Structure formats: structure tokens, C-alpha cells
Structure 1
Amino acid sequence: MSAPVSRTPRGARAADPAGAALGEFLAAYDAALARWPVPVEPLTVRTPHGATRVNACGPRDGRPLVLLHGGGATSTGWADTVGPLTAAGHRVLAVDLIGDPGRSVHDGAPLGGVPGLLGWLDAVLDRLDVPEADLCGHSYGGWIALEYALHAPARVGRLALLDPTQCFAGFRPGYLLRALPLFLPPRTAGRARSYLDWESGGSGLDAGWREVYALGHAGFPASRVVTGPRPTRDRLRALRAPTLVLTAGRSRAHDAARVAAAARDALPVATVAVLPGVSHHNLLTARPAELTGRLTAFLSGGA
């Protein structure tokens, strides 16, 4: 029987369908990961749904902090965040979502909906021997983090949601119309680059990550996104974890002020703020010092 967690050679390729486009994506992924400012320990975590890549860094005896990326973004997008987080003493566990572009391989049981997705994250934490952790999610990863905190409250210490989608308000119709062509054939890297540049205003994006996103969109086998409805008010009222919600003031995905107001209304004890001058997709890279300052203060117990 295979070990539940194994150390993955940095350049090793996952057992996905071969192809030039996929190979180009994986090369860009590895190049982006190599630029992280801290040493990375790539782990392969075996779950019933397949092999999950976790890029771990920071002190092994530090408090676990699970990072969940946005749809199509891969864990490489946390490059500007992991340095301050590890310096603050966190054991960072940056996960590649199963079925999403990245180095996780969804070759096991189907997720079968939201319960399966949350069960997959249960299995990842179990295999890593992490009974309880802080969670931080961006965009779609924010929705997963929130759902997981509601699903397994005893396993989540603090919860940070970075411009989360489908948590407190819906998408702007114009954003959905702009994003729709991304999922229609042919899926091209150029179309993905154009979409990112439109949403971010053409600034604040890390060039290497932009290429990972674009090539993953074009070259990674498509998988059905597991999602669900926004949590109801009653469910949100039951949230136990201290929560930070940061929205992107220039987000085209949704109205940042409306999301922030809805979060304050639903979670009266949460810390909620709008970060000016950043968009949904460049939130992690446009002004990283402000973002990581707020994040590390919150995770250390501050407001």
C-alpha cells in the first residue's frame, strides 16, 4: 500500500494525459514555484479521489495554515504571500484543488458534489495529520474555505476570505458574460490572458503566474467545477471561527462594497474591509505588503 503522504521531486510530472500543451503548463507551474522566496517541500497526499499536491513551507512545528486558491489559479499564485506568512511562524500548506489545473491528479472516485469536495479536504488534512488549522481562501477557494468551516467547525481555528465569490453576494452579470467564452471551445491561452488583463486593468499581475493560469486553462484536462448555493443567513450565523473578509475594491467579479456590507450583516463579529486599488485577480500581487500585513495581524489574533 502506498504511503498516504510522499515527498514529490520538484520537477516530477503528475500521471496526467500526455500532451505538449499539458507539458508546457507543468513547466510554467514548476518555474513559478521555483520563484517562491522560501524553500518549498512538495508533498503528494493520497486520498480516495486521487493524488493531491500540497506545497508546504515554513517551520514544521508552526501552526498549520491551509491556503486554497481560486479557480484555475493553482497554488503557485501565493508566491507573494508565503514569505511573510512563514516568517510569522506559520506552517503553510498551499493546496492544488483536486480536478483543477495544477499538480493534483483526480484519478480516483468522483467528488459527487459539495459533500465529496469537503470530504476530500477532510482526507487531505487527515493524511497530513493536521487535526485543526487556520484556513485562507481566495475567490472560489474562499467559498470552499467558508463551506469547510461550516462543515467541520472543530477543525478550523481562524478563517480568512480574500475577495470570496458566492459567499455573501452573487457575480456581476457582465463578469459572467465576459468569463463565459473561457469555457467554450477552443480553450486557448490567449483568451485566458485577455480575460485576466481585462479584469485587472492590465496591471498588478505576476507575469509568471499569469502564464500558469493561461496555459492551465488551455492545456489542463477540463473537469466539472464543484460548487453550490451561497450559504444561508442561518448557516452563516452558526459560523464559530473568527473571520476576516477582505474584498477587492476594483473587483469586476462582484460589487466589493456590496459584498463587504453583506458580510458585515451576516457576520457581525467578523473583521471586514475593502482593499482599494486592487482587482479580483491581482489581489494577491498588486499590493502584497498591505494584504499580508492585514492577514498576518489577523492570524496572530489581532483585528
Structure 2
Amino acid sequence: MEEFLAAYDAVLGRWPVEVKPVDVESEFGTTRVQLCGPPDGAPLVLLHGGGATSAVWLANIAELSREHRVYAVDQIGAPGRSVHSGRPFRRPRDLLDWLDSLFRHFRLSGAGVCGHSYGGWLALAYALRAPARVEKLALLDPTQCFAGFRPGYLLRALPLLLRPSAKRERAFLEWELGGAPVDQGWLELVSLGAEFPSSKVVAGGRPRSPAPRMPVLLVLAGKSRAHDVRRVEANARAALGPAQLEVLTLPEATHHSLPLWPAEPLNRALTAFYQARSS
């Protein structure tokens, strides 16, 4: 655990902006949120993927915090500096209650929300629950939102799920990354996170509620091994419609290379999406 926390602090220490860590108390425990950007900037909430921690926004935070007040969250119950010491997570609604407690604490309404992978599922589920709080929604290769996992991906992940270890986590990530040039400090951090004490993951099914009412940017990883991105796009278009949905496919990205790489086109797309005024 000490090695993990040291790696976490090292990656966060390389963020190119000034960061203010804030611990938010709730009935679930303590949630660490990294604040940066102008205090009067439009709020933007960042939700990382499974096991990734808020440190994963290393390559994006300079651009995203230029005009936004960014709230980068360590998901409670997952590896990171949040502490799940209270109410347990038994169903997806508990996770949404936890996220809602953060929005209420910071008095956020009309915020931009961006989630990657499992964080994308959480972002979409919350936008459906509390549409008045979410002005725009960006989903980065989101899982379980519009299509299921590839069987091969789950098969590769099975040994890690049965006997988690840093070595197995790294091997799994390197397989999915396929040589993508991600930050090695982050890769070491996520690998160590496999041995970090965590709560049981609450997996939600695909949202069955009516489509979200806010604009949605769907960013797909062209080389994602997690799911069939063509099916994800087709199902998202059918569910959301062209007036509401913008789709960007990054051809060389993999599921786990996002959001770190390729950062430049991703940052351009996110900046343009959040700066454009909603109709």
C-alpha cells in the first residue's frame, strides 16, 4: 500500500498545474477530489476508469483546467486516496448516491462531466438520474453503456479477477495497450493498484432509462479490445440520435491508453465540446 501511495503521489506531482486536494466526508466515507483551474471557471467533473485513480488525467489536465474548475475524483472504494469506511455499495443506486453527495457538497449544477470506461458508465447513469446537474456529457470508450465486453477481453481478465497481483495487472494492460506509448509511471501505479484494498465492484447493466437530454460526446478507441466499438457507436446513435450525439473515433487509441494517449486530439475534442454553447 505504501508503494502504491508513493507511486500515486509521484504521478500526481507531475501534473503541470497547481492542484488543491480536498477530502469530502459523507455517509460513505472520505472522498479525495483534486481541484484545479480558475475558481470561477465552469465546473467539470472527471471520473476515471476502474483502478485508474484521478492521476490518470496527467496528459489532459493542463488543457481541461485552462478555463474550467476541474473536480477530478478518486472513486471511493477503488484504489486511490478515497477511503470507503461507511455505507457499503450493494447496488448501482448506492454509487449514484455517493456521486450525488459530491455534487451537493460542491454545489454543482450545470456541470460538464467526463468519464472513461467504468467512469463513463457512472457518468451516464448519473446524467440520467440528475439531468439538471449535468450540462454536457463526454464518454471515453465507455463500458457497459451501449454494448457488452468482448469475450476475449473477459477471458484475459479472468486470472486477474481470481488472483489479483501487480504482475498480472501489468501483463493484462500491456496486452490491451498493444504497444501504445502510455506514461510508465501511470502504468506502474495502476499495476500496483491491483493489490490495493478495494471494495467489491458494483457493476451496472446498460441504462434502460430514457436517453439523456444533454449533448453527448462519445470518444471511441479504434483499437479497443474491451468491446466492439462499431457496435458501441451504432447502439449509441440509435439510442441518442444525431441531434444530441457527437462521435469521435481515435484510430490508434486502445481502451486503456485513454485518456493518456493520444492526448492531443482528445484534448482538442474535449475543449471544443465543453466550450461550445448548448443549444
TM normalised by structure 2 equals 0.96
Matched, 1:247 2:223: no
Aligned equivalents of 1:283, 1:109: Cα separation in 2? 31
Secondary structure of the 2:60 match is: helix
Aligned equivalents of 2:180, 2:249: Cα separation in 1? 19
Query: How far off is 1:236 after superposition?
Result: 4.1
| Alignment partner, residue 251 of structure 2 | 276
C-alpha contact (below 8 Å) 1:260/1:274 kept by paired residues: no
| Alignment partner, residue 268 of structure 2 | 293
Matched, 1:210 2:187: yes
C-alpha spacing 1:302/1:206, structure 2 compared with 1 (3 Å): farther
C-alpha contact (below 8 Å) 1:142/1:161 kept by paired residues: yes
Name the stretch that deviates more: 103-112 or 244-253: 103-112
Secondary structure of the 1:137 match is: strand
Secondary structure of the 1:52 match is: strand
Q: Deviations over 1:72-120 (max 9, x none)?
A: 0001000111111112x10110000010101000001112311111010
Q: Deviations over 1:32-63 (max 9, x none)?
A: 00000111100101111000000111001101
Matched, 1:41 2:20: yes
Query: How far off is 1:223 after superposition?
Result: 1.6
| Alignment partner, residue 131 of structure 1 | 109
Of 43, 46, 51, the match for 1:67: 46
Query: How far off is 1:277 after superposition?
Result: 0.6
Query: How far off is 1:231 after superposition?
Result: 1.3
Matched, 1:199 2:199: no
| Alignment partner, residue 237 of structure 2 | 264
Aligned equivalents of 2:96, 2:137: Cα separation in 1? 16
Alignment map for 1:113-262 (pairs within 5 Å): 113-185=91-163, 187-218=164-195, 220-232=196-208, 235-237=209-211, 239-262=212-235
Aligned equivalents of 2:110, 2:44: Cα separation in 1? 9
Structure 2 unpaired stretches of 5+? none
C-alpha contact (below 8 Å) 1:145/1:159 kept by paired residues: yes
C-alpha contact (below 8 Å) 1:204/1:285 kept by paired residues: no
Aligned equivalents of 1:68, 1:286: Cα separation in 2? 17
C-alpha contact (below 8 Å) 1:257/1:274 kept by paired residues: no
Which amino acid in 1 is paired with 2:267? T
Query: How far off is 1:228 after superposition?
Result: 1.5
Structure 1 unpaired stretches of 5+? 1-21
Query: How far off is 1:274 after superposition?
Result: 1.5
Matched, 1:95 2:73: yes
Aligned equivalents of 1:121, 1:70: Cα separation in 2? 15
C-alpha contact (below 8 Å) 2:177/2:255 kept by paired residues: yes
| Alignment partner, residue 18 of structure 1 | none
C-alpha spacing 1:216/1:262, structure 2 compared with 1 (3 Å): same
| Alignment partner, residue 80 of structure 1 | 59
Which amino acid in 1 is paired with 2:181? G
Name the stretch that deviates more: 92-101 or 105-114: 105-114
Query: How far off is 1:129 after superposition?
Result: 2.4
| RMSD value, Cα | 1.2
Aligned equivalents of 1:30, 1:132: Cα separation in 2? 31
Query: How far off is 1:302 after superposition?
Result: 6.7
Report sequence identity in percent: 56
Runs of 4+ in 1 over 3 A off after TM superposition: none
TM normalised by structure 1 equals 0.89
Secondary structure of the 1:115 match is: helix
C-alpha contact (below 8 Å) 2:180/2:254 kept by paired residues: no
C-alpha contact (below 8 Å) 1:51/1:105 kept by paired residues: yes
C-alpha contact (below 8 Å) 1:60/1:91 kept by paired residues: yes
Name the stretch that deviates more: 269-278 or 240-249: 269-278
Matched, 1:23 2:2: yes
